[in-house]
Amino acid sequence: MIQTANSVTQVEEARTVFITHTVLLRNGKAIKKTTRLQPVYYLNRLNTHLLSMGEFLNDEQLIFGNNHQLTFLRKKPPVLTYQPHIVGLTTFWLNLTIESVISLSAKTGTVYATDYSIWHQQMGHPGDDILWKLPEIVKKAPKLITIPSAKKPCEACAKEKMPSCSFPPSSSRATKPFQIVHSDLKDMIKQSFNGYHYVLTVFDDFTSHTWSFNLKKKSDMIDHTWQFIAYAKNQHNALIGTW
């Protein structure tokens, strides 16, 4: 938890992000670079990407510039170049692209050894035996994935492997759609980028059709329940019998 100007907000765990951006050299030449940022934190309800100038200065980088441009140096070579979003203002923006897994796979040889946690998360938390074979089964996958011998347990994997109680057996079955409807509310392993934390699933006993709804709060389930009842009535001319 951190204190902001107006409230206290929750900070998610640290992640690693690769960005592609333009750096202006001292001779005026512009070059494209791919840079690894770590740690990167997710703040709920924050819709702007922010870079902390203090973190770069703590990394022993130097900064120089004027109201037209700011440049960060690490041991003399420039590493980041900022320019004002609007000429004349002092709000500086970094023009960058956050790399996807596909685009990053073609560049990992030029960045440095591929980050194990990135590929473990982006590929859906596979086991190490699957991740080790990734270059063989996925086209254009990097060949530099290094699986660390000692690593922290993955919170998402630990939660996924927790057993859940099964539903009790039932001898009855619905004879028409929406006669019997089952539902379940589950929390997501990690809060989504858009702030969703729960998933409401609705299952029709007769057709085995399933609907799912992303929720930000558990109390949102009430509104979605009424919306689903209205959906069954308006779209299918049906009333839900047992829920």
Determine the pLDDT at residue 111: 41
Pick the closest to residue 128 from 143, 146, 110 (CA basis).
Answer: 146
3-state secondary structure of 1: coil
* Whole-angstrom distance, CA of residue 89 vs CA of residue 211: 49
Q: Supply the pLDDT for residue 153.
A: 74
**Cβ atoms 225, 213 nearer than 8 A:** no
Please tell me the distance from the alpha carbon of residue 12 to that of residue 41, in angstroms, as a whole number: 6
Cis peptide before 126 (omega within 30 of 0): no
Tell me how far apart the alpha carbons of residues 152 and 111 are, in angstroms, rounded to a whole number. Answer: 24
Q: Mean pLDDT by 10-residue block, N- to C-terminus, for the chain (243 residues)?
A: 65 70 77 76 69 73 77 74 74 68 50 63 79 77 69 75 76 89 85 82 93 92 93 93 90
**pLDDT computed for residue 110 by the predictor:** 42
The answer to whether residues 21 and 78 touch, using CB atoms and an 8 Å cutoff, is no
Q: Give the DSSP letter of residue 59.
A: T
Domains in the chain, start-ordered, CATH in brackets?
2-98 (no CATH), 101-160 (no CATH), 181-236 (3.30.420.10)
Taking a C-beta distance cutoff of 8 angstroms, is the pair 174, 27 a contact? no
**pLDDT recorded at residue 12:** 63
CB neighbour list of residue 147: distance below 8 Å, 6 or more residues apart: 116, 128, 131, 132
- Taken in order 12, 198, 151, 33, the sign of the CA dihedral is negative
